[in-house]
């Protein structure tokens, strides 16, 4: 299965992707995670992306499309895309690139949740710099305060989760990424998922939608 997961910053895309790939044996490709790794490695791409990410804007399409096309090319089987495509142009380029190898997106999941809720989620998010595990100071606490359950590393806050940057990220989402939902609505199966619920409830809903998809194939 080739799946696109859409949703505002903080809608829970990363959280749900981890559960989806575990159950369906798919690869999780997060454009944000790839960019953060490029930054940590000090690559040219990472340096170019830095200012856009820190201000809550989007990294230019020409950098992202090439980066993601390269990552997707390495995958023979299914994947879940998280954070990409984020503009209509990126979605068009993705379709073109998949079509070259006779592939297409099988389904799109759109996580729906309001701005106030996601702002709270983002400012309370903490993550493990070593393994990438994601927590929340109220909703998903680690067993030991401030430490990763998996490897004991000190949890950190993403620089773009500061309140002023979160506002810009949400503005960017409404302006540039929401139209991607309309793009997919016109030629793909789009499942809208109420993401203003308990994490486990959302996962069950997604798995149910996936079982319909698998049995329809
Ligand atoms: P990226 O890393 O993709 O960030 P994002 O889309 O803003 O999404 P997040 O990772 O912040 O949120 P999420 O939906 O994954 O939520 P999570 O599961 O962590 O992008 C970062 C930047 O990179 C962009 O701003 C841009 O500059 C650049 N970039 C990336 N891709 C790009 C592209 N394609 N084009 C151009 N630029 C690009 O959950 C958030 C928190 O909420 C966690 O603490 C979690 O525990 C908690 N939580 C999750 N679900 C629930 C729930 N149901 N109830 C309560 N709490 C919950």
pLDDT tens digit at each of 217 positions of the chain: 899 999 999 999 999 999 999 999 999 999 999 999 999 999 999 999 999 999 999 999 999 999 999 999 888 789 999 999 999 999 999 999 999 888 999 999 999 999 999 999 999 999 998 988 999 999 899 999 999 999 999 999 999 999 999 999 999 999 999 999 999 999 878 999 999 999 999 999 999 998 887 776 6
What spacing in Å lies between the alpha carbon of 216 and ligand 1's midpoint? 30
Q: What is residue 215's predicted lDDT score, i.e. its pLDDT?
A: 72
Q: Which residues, other chains included, contact 201 with Cβ-Cβ below 8 Å and sequence gap of 6+?
A: none
Quote the CA–CA distance of 111 and 7 in Å, as a whole number.
5
Q: Are 156 and 126 in contact (CB under 8 A)?
A: yes
Catalytic site residue from 2, 36, 121, 125: 125
Q: What is residue 132's predicted lDDT score, i.e. its pLDDT?
A: 86
- Let me know if 169 is a catalytic residue: yes
Q: Which residues, other chains included, contact 216 with Cβ-Cβ below 8 Å and sequence gap of 6+?
A: none
What spacing in Å lies between the alpha carbon of 118 and ligand 1's midpoint? 9
Catalytic site residue from 158, 162, 197, 209: 158
Q: What is residue 217's predicted lDDT score, i.e. its pLDDT?
A: 67
Q: Are 34 and 71 in contact (CB under 8 A)?
A: yes
Q: What is residue 84's predicted lDDT score, i.e. its pLDDT?
A: 98
| Block residue for tokens 């030629």 | 187
Instruction: Assign domain 2-114+177-216 one CATH number from 3.40.50.970, 3.40.50.300, 1.10.10.10, 3.90.550.10.
Output: 3.40.50.300
| Block residue for tokens 């929340």 | 136
CA of 121: how far to CAs of 76, 84, 116, 173, 207, in Å?
Answer: 34, 20, 9, 16, 23
Q: What is residue 185's predicted lDDT score, i.e. its pLDDT?
A: 93
Domain residue limits, the chain: 2-114+177-216
- Let me know if 125 is a catalytic residue: yes
What is the pTM for the complete model shown? 0.93
- Let me know if 143 is a catalytic residue: no
What spacing in Å lies between the alpha carbon of 9 and ligand 1's midpoint? 4
């Amino acid at each position: 299965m080739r799946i696109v997961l859409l949703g505002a910053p903080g809608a829970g895309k990363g959280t749900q992707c981890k559960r989806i790939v575990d159950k369906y044996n798919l690869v999780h490709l997060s454009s944000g995670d790839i960019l953060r790794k490029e930054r940590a490695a000090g690559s040219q791409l990472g340096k170019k992306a830095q200012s856009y990410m820190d201000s809550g804007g989007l990294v230019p399409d020409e950098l992202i499309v090439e980066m993601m096309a390269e990552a997707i090319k390495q995958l023979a089987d299914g994947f879940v895309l998280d954070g990409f495509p984020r503009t209509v142009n990126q979605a068009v380029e993705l379709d073109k690139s998949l079509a070259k190898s006779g592939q297409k997106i099988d389904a799109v999941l759109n996580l729906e949740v309001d701005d106030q809720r996601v702002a709270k989620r983002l400012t309370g998010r903490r993550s493990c710099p070593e393994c990438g595990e994601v927590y929340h100071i109220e909703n998903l606490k680690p067993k030991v305060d401030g430490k990763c359950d998996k490897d004991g590393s000190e949890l950190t806050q993403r620089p773009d989760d500061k309140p002023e940057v979160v506002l810009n990220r949400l503005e960017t989402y409404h302006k540039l990424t929401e139209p991607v939902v309309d793009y997919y609505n016109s030629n793909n199966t789009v499942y809208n998922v109420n993401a203003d619920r308990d994490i486990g409830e959302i996962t069950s809903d997604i798995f149910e939608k996936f079982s319909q998809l698998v049995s329809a194939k």
